[in-house]
Amino acid sequence: MVDGLKPRPLSGFLLLGILVPIALWFILRPFLDPVPSVPALYTSSGFSILAFVTTLYLVPALGPRFVQANLKGRDLLKTYSTPIPESQGLVCASVYLLSLILFIPFAFSNVFADRFSNQQKSVHGLAIDEFPHHQLSVYLSSIISLMMATLLGFLDDVFDIRWRHKLPVPIIASIPLLIVYFAERGNTNVVVPKPLRPLIGSLINLGYLYMSLLSTFSTNSVNILAGINGSEVLQAITITISVIVNDLLYLPWPIDWRIPLHLLGNQSEIGSEIRIGGVWSAGMAHGSRVLVERHLFSLYFMLPLLGVCTGFLYHNWYPARAFPGDTLCYLTGMAFAVVGIQAHFSKTLLLFFLPQILNFLLSCPQLSGMAPCPRHRLPRFDPETNLLHPSTVAFERPPSMRTSSTLHLLSLLGLTRRTKHPKSGQIFEATNQTILNLFLITLGPMTEKQLVKVLGATQVAGSVFAFLIRYGLAGLVYDGDGR
């Protein structure tokens, strides 16, 4: 088993010989004629591939330094106790932040515009000289928030901040975001679902409260759905890909896309307008430059995130050679909050968090202190069979009436399993209420590798469902363009 803990092999030829040239082509493409309609997107893709390769190499290379600096942990669901480098999300964060910073001149300077104006101006299509330079401060404030999340996540790893103390940490990290929003007098109004409108009016300024809660949720919800190899990164990657797919729907594509929404029985104006061709009007943006810009902004943050997370997953996959630490959860959570807030699609974003929302709701009895909550709620490992079983927590005192009835209800729904005292009928043990335990209760014991695959499949299913709701059913709840 210890044999499996050597760093995973990396194919130098595949990475340096194929991926790096592809990345360089993407970065250089905007400088070649004809200039593409969204040149900075090519650069961003190139940087993301480089970020992927860099993370792939740096994580195993820096592993021993992490162990040396006492940033290490034992894998709790294994037979061996070899120390595994912990907090290596820091490597991802550093690569990610650096690629975001190096990207600035491509997105916010005239580097492409100068070239562009030398040519004849394209008749249609978005070019970089139309990119809003004033958004630079928004971009920078997002980087500050991400950097703060990284710093705080790493501090959490080093100082081991207590659970309850670190809940509000993402709020601190979102301060730069909110303050620049305020300084720029941003539109923090949120569209209210139709049924509620008569109650609170068509628009309400939930604003800052909503935005800081969003970052708290997106950070902590991934953090509490952890415990098995690859779980945090897999969630992050699925959500990132979902956001990217959603962004791509709004981009000006040279070819005409048609999404068969009518199959879903949706005959609203969205379905019909999608057919209109041309670079500017294609996609879901319906010719709105603002929408295109927002989703480009989102892509610039999501593509490199996908790069570093995928690179990290290679080493974090079962059996893990590297642990992400809280740093990665803070980073990814804040990145999702940033794009949700700055690109104005926070409700769509929340739809991609369905498994996390379910896990959070399941965890409520334990998180609220109603039921006892151990430090780790990860499944129980049986070294004999190599299988994971639902983990349980013992009640030191007999549970209150309220707790008993809650557990009874959860148990009826098949969401938890409790053990009653044979004589008194009192509950003295119950499974930890997490989605991972729920999988084990429903599907029976399985290996860690199977469990993480089930989690990944659930996340993907959740995202597919989210897209169906967003583009199939949104017309029922919101106006056509409700985000």
Interface with a second copy (CB under 8 A): 65, 68-71, 90, 97-98, 101-102, 104-105, 108-110, 136-137, 140-141, 143-144, 147-148, 150-151, 154-155, 158-160, 172, 175-176, 179-180, 182-185
- Asked if residues 71 and 86 have their Cβ atoms less than 8 Å apart, the reply is yes
Least distance (Å) from a second copy to the CB of residue 162?
A: 11
Name the DSSP class of 203: E
**Could you tell me the smallest distance in angstroms from the CB atom of residue 443 to a second copy?**
40
Strand positions, DSSP E, 2-64? none
Nearer to a second copy, 80 or 159 (CB): 159
Residue with Cβ nearer a second copy (327 or 431): 327
Which of 379, 367, 317 lies closest to 217, judged by CA?
367
Closer residue to a second copy, CB minimum distance, 98 or 259: 98
Residue in 82, 118, 116, 99 with CA at minimum distance from that of residue 45: 99
Return the structure tokens found at 400.
């209150």
Is residue 156 classed as helix, strand or coil in its secondary structure? helix
* Cβ-based nearer residue to a second copy, 179 or 393: 179
Element (DSSP H or E) covering residue 43? helix 39-68
Cβ of residue 224: shortest distance to a second copy, in angstroms?
A: 23
C-alpha closest to that of 139 among 164, 163, 103, 165: 103
Query: Cα dist. 178→106, 214, 264, 340 in Å?
Result: 25, 12, 38, 13
Nearest distance in Å: CB 68, a second copy: 8
Which residue, 5 or 155, is less far from a second copy as judged by CB? Answer: 155
- Closer residue to a second copy (CB): 115 or 470: 115
- Torsion (CA) 209, 213, 215, 218 in degrees, nearest 10: -160
**Three-class DSSP category at 416:** coil
Using alpha carbons, list the distances in angstroms from residue 49 to 21, 230, 235, 249, 393: 10, 21, 20, 22, 44
* Least distance to a second copy, CB of residue 172, Å: 8
Shortest Å, Cβ 62 to a second copy:
9
CA pair distance 123, 352, nearest whole angstrom:
37
CA distance linking residue 177 with residue 140, whole number of Å: 9
Rounded to a whole number of angstroms, the minimum distance from the CB of residue 150 to a second copy is 7
Residue among 137 and 187 whose Cβ is closer to a second copy? 137
Q: Shortest approach of a second copy to residue 261 CB, angstroms?
A: 40
Least distance in angstroms from the C-beta of 164 to a second copy: 16
Structure tokens at 176: 């730069």
Pick between residue 5 and residue 175 the one whose CB is nearest to a second copy: 175
Query: Rounded to the nearest whole angstrom, what is the least distance from the CB of residue 42 to a second copy in the complex?
Result: 18
Considering the complex, state which of residue 150 and residue 431 has its C-beta at the smaller distance from a second copy. 150
In the complex with a second copy, the residue whose CB is nearer, 176 or 304, is 176
The amino acid sitting at 287 is G
Closest by CA position to 316, among listed 12, 147, 87: 87
Phi, psi of 393 (to 5 degrees): -130, 135
For the chain, what is the largest distance between any 2 Cα atoms, rounded to a whole number of angstroms? Answer: 87
Q: Which amino acid is at 6?
A: K
Q: Of 10 and 161, which has the nearer Cβ to a second copy?
A: 161
Rounded CA separation 140/322 (Å): 30
Rg (CA), the chain: 24
Least distance between a second copy and beta carbon 134 (Å): 9
For 154-246, strand residue ranges (E) read 190-191, 203-204
Tell me the one-letter amino acid at 450: Q
